[in-house]
Structures are given as structure tokens and as C-alpha cells.
Amino acid sequence: MNETRRLHASTERFAASVALPGDKSLSHRALVFSGMAAGDSLVSGLGNGADVLTSAHVLGQLGVRFHPDGSAVAVSSAGVGAWTEPAAPLDCGNSGTTMRLMTGALTGQSFTASLIGDESLSKRPMDRLVEPLGVLGARISTDDDGTPPVVVEPCDGLEGAEIVLTTPSAQLRSAFELGAIQASGDSVVSSPPGYRDHTERWLETMGLGERKDDTFVVHPGPVPATKYDLPGDTSSAAFLWAAAAISPGSEVTTPNISLNAGRIGFLEVLERMGVEVDASVDRAILGDPVGTVRVRGTTLRGVSIDGPLTIAALDELPLLAVVASFADGPTRVANAIELRVKESDRIASTCEMVRGLGGGAEPTADGFEVVGLGWLDGGTVASFGDHRIAMAAGVAATATRNPVDVVGSEATAVSWPDFYETLESLWSSR
């Protein structure tokens, strides 16, 4: 399927408050944690994207059961040590998060499990899981080129270990930690900064870990059955913030979203570009801050970002390229080589998107540069099957001089099935 959606700009300002769908990162974790726990857990605010449903499906293949409980989902499991051997490979679809987290969770099983994915996921590197889980004693393998399927075989028992990761990847750290809680002794993990630390905050709240200086110590033990009240998705909110940012005088408020430091790098970038940003913490969920963000668009200026800020804004970098196109002066992004191995090569696909809309963008060795013309014309862009490219193009269309045709617009269903409708509703909600 390759649907094309035509989107039109609006010259009107807007002021809206929007409730976001459940946070995708936290939804994956809530399902995996609940599936590993013995007993009944309750998850409210679960995300409705295809990737989250994929995690539920994979856990279902292992004997975990799900049923509606009002507006929440009840998760029943005999616990990770009692998972049943799957009758078929565990199909992770397009969800790299599902594959990485479940690989870590499966390391202590007494059966062999194979994790597969769709055409896109089957091209993404998974060999980076082998070493950190291997130091625990896990037996993990991939295809010769490091791509799926990922095969997890029984081992003689997991033992606590120490690992220093060179990549600040939350998913890689989480996979290690989900294996480490099944080990016979403490484990220690460290990596460069900038990653989202949801898993570690949850483990610490549950008594299964503690932060020590620049490391995180994992204490083995059973995951408790828990009630999870998940906030709205920060990465989804970013698209609405961007729509306000490129429309001077427009304003959007996003209540009840995760304000984890590893999730709000894009807000810092917007502030550097001149956007008015107000964020406040209202509560915490398992040690993770949740609150409200208000963004008001103003005149934009180009910026340069690198290091931890790039990592903290990694998912939003295609969106940043759109915002940067409406700014005055160039924007440069460095230390973003991880974009090469997402749902698409996001360095290449981001630059093609901007150029397809009449802007100027060029790839660099580890990022990209955007000219910053102060406008985009419009045109036809391909999503490359990547939900963040499809959504970034949708945001661009709200302020282009001419309509935008997004080819492969259905890719948004991975994380936010109602994205286009929500974007269009900003003007009707005044």
C-alpha cells in the first residue's frame, strides 16, 4: 500500500490544547514489564500505534494474556520464567523497540526463540545486542550481516556483569537491563549521555536498580505486577510544537506528557531558535516526570546542535529540518549517525523531503545542514515507509506556499493513526 495524501496550508493562526495518544516508548515498556511480572498488571493510557500492538502480539505468543478493563488493559502473566515456547517466530513487524526489548527479556528462557521483522526491520542492525547480552552469558545471534532474525538460545544461566556501551541508546541499555534482572548478581551499565532513561527510573522505583554517579546498577529480582498510568506521547507532541513554531503567533498546549530529560531535547532546540516554550512538571509516574508544555511561534533563527542535545532530540531531527527551513540562516546537525539505521536512512530521507518541498538541505558525514530560506514551496515527498518523515512532511504542509502530497502517508499508523486529523483540527479548535 502506498497512499498519497494531499495537505493544504493555512494562513490563520491557531491556539489549541491537544491531548496526545499514550506514550509509545512507555507503552512498550509497560507491556514488557507487565509480561515479565507474575500476576495481573493494569495499563491505562496505552498507545494505539501499530508498533505498540506488535509488542502485545509478541508477548501473546509467549502466553501473556490481555483483556480490556474499562479504558485500560489488564495484562495477565505467569511471569517471565514461565513463558511458553512460541509455536512460530516472534514477528516484530516494523518495531525495532519490540525486537530489542524482547531480546533482552528472552535471554533467561529455557527455549529457543527467533525474532523476525518486516522488510524494513529486516535491514536494520541488531548485532549490537550480541556483545552486551553476551557478557551476561546470553546466547544471541543474528544473520551474518548483523540483521534479523535475532535468535535467542538457552544458556547455562545469566551472571551479573559490567558493560560500557559506546552508543547512548536507550533501547540497547534497556535490553541489557531486562536481561540483567534475570542474572545471579548485580550488573553495571554506562554509556555516553543524552539517552532516555525510562527503564532505569522504573527499575529504581521497583527496587531493581540504582543510579551511582555515571553508571546504573541493576539488582536481579522479579518484576512486580504494577498499575501503569501512562502519559501522552512526547514525540507525538513535538509535531504539534513544530506546527506552532513555524506559524508566528500560533500556540499549542500539550498536557500530561512525559518530560523525561532524554525526551525534550527538541524543546531546547526550539528555544535556541527563538520559540517561546513553557514547561511545568505536574506529577511523576514510577519516578518519571510528567507535565504540560506550551509552545508559541515567533521569528525563527538557524542553530547548530551536536553531542548529547542531538541524542536527546534524535527522533525529532527530521522535524527539526522542517522548522529550520522556515528559519533565518543555516541549521547544522552533527553526531546523528544513528539516523542512518532507523525506519529509513533518516539523513538521506530528511534531506530529500526538504528538497522535495523546495528547500535546501544537504547530508553530512554524521548529520545534515539546512539552508534556512524562511519558507518552503510545497510539492510531492515520499515517506520512505517512515512514520516520522510522513509526519514531518505533514507539519511542513501547514505553512508551505502550495499543497503537499505525501506519498506513503499511511506510515503514520506506526505511531499515531489519527495524526493528520489531529493536525487539521488545530485550526478548528480555536
**pTM, to two decimals:** 0.95
Torsion sign, CA atoms 259, 265, 266, 267: positive
Q: Which helix (H) or strand (E) holds 143?
A: none
The 288-296 sheet, strands edge to edge: 15-17, 251-258, 288-296, 276-285
**Measuring CA to CA, which residue among 198, 170, 223 is closest to residue 189?**
170
Q: Which three cell numbers stand for residue 386?
A: 517512515
The residue from 91, 233, 315, 386 that is catalytic is: 315
Q: Which domains does the chain have, with CATH numbers?
A: 4-22+232-428 (3.65.10.10), 24-229 (3.65.10.10)
Q: What is the pLDDT along the chain (430 residues), one digit of tens a residue?
A: 689 999 998 878 999 999 999 999 999 999 999 999 999 999 999 999 999 999 999 999 999 999 999 899 999 999 999 999 999 999 999 999 999 999 999 999 999 999 999 999 999 999 999 999 999 999 999 999 999 999 999 999 999 999 999 989 999 999 999 999 999 999 999 999 889 999 999 999 999 999 998 899 999 999 999 999 999 999 999 999 999 999 999 999 999 999 999 999 999 999 999 999 999 999 999 999 999 999 999 999 999 999 999 999 999 999 999 999 999 999 999 999 999 989 999 999 999 999 999 999 999 999 999 999 999 999 999 999 999 999 999 999 999 999 999 999 999 999 999 999 999 999 875 4
Q: What angle do CA 90, 93, 99 make, to 5 degrees?
A: 60
Any catalytic annotation for residue 418? no
DSSP string, 188-239: EEE--S----HHHHHHHHTTSEEEETTEEEEPP-PPPP-EEE--B-HHHHHH
DSSP assignment, residue 123? G
